[in-house]
């Protein structure tokens, strides 16, 4: 069964719709003039991303359709320096219920769309879309759907097990990037998104959304905007809501706050009770700091060869800390996160090195700390 | 039951037909797609052949059987793995895997996480280059499982444990062979476990039964270890230092039982393990000593001493009886200074059964054996309580105070496998 929610076109009648269809036929491109999002709540889900009518695309740029709201996060997950474009949509008349500490309670029919893009090689200012991950709140559960963009950037297709993509470009700072980008398969989506075997959104929490966003009509706080457009109910005024530091901006928080925000968004989705790495006993959630739970002087319990280091985290000694070692690696098994990263996040590592160096507590008794 | 013949079909049958010639990437993709789209009840049959994968294969669908043609015929090779920390990663209930080999994964070979009603049968998990610190830590690695059977399987080369069971309950491990690993078998923070008719040989240590702190599930207990052969475990320890306590496991350990209660060890052949055949210890002896350099650090004390309030580091109610224990302790691992020093002090060799004698002053029972460490009819096995807490000042060689019996522990019952355990796994001769 196909469930379709349509927002009644406010300005376009059937005539215009007909024109749009005609245009589709001639252009061969499905990303055309649809004004209304199509929602699919049950399998089979559409093979083409365009069938959802979430946005239009031109030269690697996504333009959201009506009521498809862009957003971003204070401190995002690092993904090989990909640029990410996040959008949310909810069926008319539906809103998410505010939660202070965990992702909001989203209504059935919520669509999250997160697109990953890299600079197009040799085309300054241009970007190449690689994938768009949809997360759909169906009646029973969240469903992840990876759509992979074609080379001509006109369409993305649903692939359960996407092929790796070679990425090569020179970034704005002149650094050459050349690596293989691994797109998670739908099981791998669950590696990060599962908690107690139930797939959940990760990013859209109050502390992460509580920031200004440059909307097309000007900057506004996201919690306020979500409330204003009817996507969020029960939220306090932004000043009264939690607020995570922006990992890269010292003005946004102390070293500890920025490092903890980084760990919260890059590690805690697995490293928390019920998460994929819950069994390790390590918990990186913001607001939790039990030394053993943070790996302080703790043996990892299922790590492999970690460069002759003994403990997850040795206060004051990043070069003795397995946490840093794993972030500096791209080797499977050694690196963290275990999936979704092929490049070292140099700036993130620098932040955590600084943080570990500043931590107090002694060198876990190591005779010759590095 | 729904059966799915993998479209691997003729793929490796020497390119008989052009249309069937698949690259390893195709095979990898197809199998992963099958695992994703499988319906509950599916039986996925894999043909003979060696199939190469460069990223983790994973399954999250319940009630799936993955079946090959034999542990030496259907081989999933992860040599040169590029992504993912595991070979095969399963997070599903009612899962059966049989007659398959998993080789040379970057990390753990077969991980099964959080599943109920799990069967691992005639599976070989191995690092083909042999002992190497860069091998994955665990070959067969079920964690947080319930109703688990691991049988007739083979594990080789793991840098931690060949066959591991952690934070699980209702577990039967039988008729397996674990060799050339650091630890042959590990039963960690688990409750209601039967391990029998297994072979542990040529590992650094044969088998560990223990609890560790700082893990979500605490209070492992009720473990029966019987009719196993734990012999010649003298492989030099090759665990990297980052594997923690296991890095300090003495080469030549037969079976060690640490920080747990309600353990019955009977009818086993425990022989020729060169450091010690049977090691009965408190957490501080097994792990704490390897961490003694950390004692000066206040934050470490917080972590390791009273840090995990749920953790109980003492050993109690262990019944070791009817075992054939001999030929061990002849050359203690010189790498572990404390063991070597003890052996030297005792004239060069360690006894068959070595007990650290640490007792909790809070136990209501007093006297010579308040922890109920009971030994019975273990032939000519020699014994020593080396008085770890007293700085080894008052060692006890006389087994008299430890000659006692405890009630037999009940057999493990796995509801989904009514015949998993012998009806009466009672004492061996």
Between A302, A315, A361, which is nearest B138 by CB?
A302
Between A276, A291, A305, which is nearest B303 by CB?
A291
Nearest residue on chain B to A162, judged by CA atoms? B29
The pLDDT assigned to A291 comes to 78
The pLDDT assigned to B97 comes to 98
> Cβ contacts (< 8 Å) between B216 and chain A: which residues?
273, 278-279, 281
Give the tokens for residue B18: 């052009």
Longest dimension (CA), chain B: 79
Q: Where are the beta strands (DSSP E) in A8-153?
A: 55-58, 61-64, 69-71, 83-89, 96-97, 111-119, 127-137, 142-149
Interface test mutation site (partner B, options A300, A304, A338, max chain B beta carbons within 10 A): A304
Between B36, B108, B298, which is nearest A185 by CB?
B36
Angle at B280 between CA B279 and CA B286, to 5 degrees: 80
Between B33, B133, B291, which is nearest A305 by CB?
B133
State the nearest Cα–Cα gap between B249 and chain A, in angstroms. 15
Predicted TM-score (pTM) of the model is: 0.88
Which stretches of chain B drop beneath a pLDDT of 70? 1-21, 288-308, 418-429
**CA atoms of B187 and B207, how far apart (whole Å):** 8
A–B: how many Cβ contacts below 8 A? 158
Between A161, A322, A361, which is nearest B32 by CB?
A161
**CA atoms of B322 and B324, how far apart (whole Å):** 7
Residue A134 has φ and ψ, to the nearest 5°, of -100, 145
Residue B366 has φ and ψ, to the nearest 5°, of -110, -170
State the nearest Cα–Cα gap between A362 and chain B, in angstroms. 6
Nearest residue on chain B to A199, judged by CA atoms? B60
Residues in contact with A46: Cβ distance below 8 Å, sequence separation at least 6, in sequence order:
A38, A40, A52, A158
The pLDDT assigned to A29 comes to 46
State the nearest Cα–Cα gap between A144 and chain B, in angstroms. 12
Contact: B137, A304; criterion CB under 8 Å:
yes
Contact: A305, B212; criterion CB under 8 Å:
no
Residue B410 has φ and ψ, to the nearest 5°, of -75, 155
**CA atoms of A222 and A207, how far apart (whole Å):** 11
> Cβ contacts (< 8 Å) between B32 and chain A: which residues?
160-161, 185, 187
Q: Is the pLDDT of residue A170 over 80?
A: yes
Give the CA radius of gyration of chain B.
22
> Cβ contacts (< 8 Å) between B294 and chain A: which residues?
297, 364-365
Nearest residue on chain A to B245, judged by CA atoms? A299
Average pLDDT, chain A: 89
Burial of B62 (0-12, 13-18, 19+ CB in 10 A): middle
Nearest residue on chain B to A182, judged by CA atoms? B83
Contact: B83, A297; criterion CB under 8 Å:
no
Between B83, B138, B296, which is nearest A332 by CB?
B83
pLDDT digits (tens, 9 = 90+) for A16-50: 444 444 444 444 445 555 578 999 999 999 999 99
Report how far Cα B323 is from the mean position of its chain's Cα atoms.
20
The pLDDT assigned to B318 comes to 98
pLDDT digits (tens, 9 = 90+) for A70-110: 999 999 999 999 999 999 999 999 999 999 999 999 999 99
**CA atoms of A185 and A204, how far apart (whole Å):** 22
Report how far Cα B113 is from the mean position of its chain's Cα atoms.
15
The pLDDT assigned to A5 comes to 43
Strand, helix or coil at A251?
helix
Q: Is the pLDDT of residue A295 over 50?
A: yes
The pLDDT assigned to B306 comes to 37
Task: Give chain B's length.
Answer: 429
B99: left (phi over 0), alpha (psi -120 to 50) or beta: left
**CA atoms of B30 and B53, how far apart (whole Å):** 11
Between B29, B83, B85, which is nearest A182 by CB?
B83
Interface test mutation site (partner B, options A290, A302, A316, max chain B beta carbons within 10 A): A302
Q: Which residue has the tokens 């476990």?
A: B193
Per-residue buried b or exposed e for A275-296, using 16+ beta carbons within 10 Å of the residue's own CB = bbbbbbbbbbbbeeeebbbbbb
Give the tokens for residue B330: 């002849």
> Cβ contacts (< 8 Å) between A308 and chain B: which residues?
240-242
State the nearest Cα–Cα gap between A311 and chain B, in angstroms. 7
Burial of B7 (0-12, 13-18, 19+ CB in 10 A): middle
- Span A172-192, mean pLDDT? 92
Exposure on the CB side of residue A319, measured as CA atoms within 13 A: 3
In chain B, what are the helix, strand and coil shares in percent, each to the nearest 5? Answer: 15, 35, 50
Q: Please tell me whether the interface predicted TM-score (ipTM) of this complex is above 0.95.
A: no
Q: Which residue has the tokens 């029960």?
A: A234
Strand, helix or coil at A208?
helix
Say if residues B151 and B419 touch (Cβ distance below 8 Å): no
Give the tokens for residue A286: 């913001």
State the nearest Cα–Cα gap between B219 and chain A, in angstroms. 15
> Cβ contacts (< 8 Å) between A336 and chain B: which residues?
none
**CA atoms of B328 and B380, how far apart (whole Å):** 12
**CA atoms of B63 and B41, how far apart (whole Å):** 5
The pLDDT assigned to A13 comes to 39
**CA atoms of A198 and A187, how far apart (whole Å):** 12
């Amino acid at each position: 069964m196909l469930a379709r929610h349509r927002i009644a076109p406010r300005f376009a009648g059937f005539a215009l719709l007909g024109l749009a269809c005609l245009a589709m036929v001639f252009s061969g491109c499905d990303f055309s003039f649809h004004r209304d999002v199509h929602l699919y709540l049950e399998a089979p889900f559409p093979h083409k991303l365009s069938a959802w009518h979430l946005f239009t695309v031109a030269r690697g740029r996504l333009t959201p359709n009506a009521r498809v709201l862009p957003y971003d996060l204070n401190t995002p997950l690092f993904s090989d320096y990909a640029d990410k474009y996040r959008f949310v949509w909810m069926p008319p008349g539906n809103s998410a219920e505010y939660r202070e500490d965990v992702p909001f309670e989203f209504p059935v029919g919520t669509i999250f769309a997160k697109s990953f893009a890299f600079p197009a090689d040799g085309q300054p200012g241009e970007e190449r879309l690689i994938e768009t991950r949809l997360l759909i709140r169906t009646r029973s559960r969240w469903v992840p759907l990876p759509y992979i963009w074609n080379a001509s950037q006109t369409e993305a297709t649903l692939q359960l097990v996407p092929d790796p993509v070679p990425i090569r470009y020179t970034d704005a700072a002149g650094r050459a990037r050349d690596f293989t980008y691994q797109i998670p398969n739908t099981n791998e989506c669950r590696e990060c998104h599962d908690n107690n075997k139930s797939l959940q959104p990760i990013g859209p929490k109050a502390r992460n959304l509580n920031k200004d966003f440059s909307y097309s009509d000007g900057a506004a706080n996201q919690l306020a905007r979500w409330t204003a457009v009817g996507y969020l109910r029960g939220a306090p005024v932004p000043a009264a809501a939690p607020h995570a530091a922006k990992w890269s901006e010292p003005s946004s928080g102390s070293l500890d706050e920025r490092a903890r925000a980084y760990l919260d968004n890059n590690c805690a989705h697995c490293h928390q009770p019920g998460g994929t790495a819950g069994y390790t006993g390590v918990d990186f959630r913001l607001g939790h700091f039990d030394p053993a739970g943070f790996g302080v002087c703790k043996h990892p319990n299922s790590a492999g060869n970690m460069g002759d280091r003994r403990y997850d985290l040795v206060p004051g000694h990043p070069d003795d800390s397995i946490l840093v070692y794993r972030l500096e690696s791209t080797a499977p098994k050694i690196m963290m996160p275990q999936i979704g990263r092929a490049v070292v996040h140099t700036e993130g590592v620098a932040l955590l090195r600084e943080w570990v160096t500043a931590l107090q507590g002694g060198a876990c008794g190591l005779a010759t700390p590095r | 039951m729904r059966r799915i013949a993998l479209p691997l079909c003729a793929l490796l049958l020497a390119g008989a037909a052009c249309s069937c010639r698949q690259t390893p990437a195709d095979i990898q993709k197809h199998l992963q797609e099958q695992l994703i789209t499988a319906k509950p009840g599916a039986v996925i049959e894999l043909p003979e052949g060696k199939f190469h994968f460069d990223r983790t294969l994973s399954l999250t669908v319940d009630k799936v059987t993955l079946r090959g043609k034999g542990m030496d015929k259907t081989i999933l090779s992860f040599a040169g793995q590029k992504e993912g920390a595991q070979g095969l990663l399963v997070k599903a209930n009612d899962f059966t895997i049989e007659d398959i080999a998993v080789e040379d994964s970057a990390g753990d070979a077969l991980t099964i996480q959080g599943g109920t009603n799990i069967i691992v049968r005639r599976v070989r998990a191995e690092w083909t280059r042999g002992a190497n610190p860069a091998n994955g830590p665990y070959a067969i690695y079920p964690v947080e499982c319930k109703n688990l059977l691991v049988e007739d399987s083979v594990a080789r080369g793991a840098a931690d444990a060949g066959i591991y069971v952690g934070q699980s309950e209702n577990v039967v491990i039988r008729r397996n062979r674990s060799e050339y690993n650091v630890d042959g078998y590990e039963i960690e923070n688990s409750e209601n476990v039967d391990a029998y008719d297994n072979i542990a040989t040529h590992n650094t240590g044969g088998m560990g039964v223990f609890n560790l702190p700082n893990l979500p599930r605490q209070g492992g207990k009720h473990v029966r270890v019987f009719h196993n052969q734990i012999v010649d475990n003298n492989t030099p320890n090759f665990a990297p230092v980052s594997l923690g306590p296991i890095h300090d496991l003495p080469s030549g350990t037969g079976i060690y039982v640490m920080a747990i209660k309600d353990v019955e060890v009977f009818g086993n052949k425990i022989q020729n393990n060169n450091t010690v055949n049977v090691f009965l210890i408190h957490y501080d002896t097994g792990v704490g000593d390897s961490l003694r350099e950390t004692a000066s650090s206040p934050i470490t004390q917080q972590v390791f001493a009273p840090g995990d309030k749920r953790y109980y580091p003492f050993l109690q109610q262990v019944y070791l009886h009817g075992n054939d224990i001999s030929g061990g302790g002849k050359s203690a691992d010189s790498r572990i200074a404390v063991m070597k020093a003890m052996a030297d002090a005792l004239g060069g060799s360690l006894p068959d059964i070595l007990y650290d004698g640490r007792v909790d002053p809070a136990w209501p029972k007093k006297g010579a054996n308040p922890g109920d460490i009971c030994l019975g009819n273990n032939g000519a096995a020699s014994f020593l309580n080396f008085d770890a807490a007293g700085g080894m000042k008052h060692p006890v060689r006389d087994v008299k105070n430890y000659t006692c019996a405890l009630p037999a522990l009940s057999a493990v019952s796995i509801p989904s496998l009514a015949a998993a355990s012998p009806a009466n796994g009672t004492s061996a001769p």
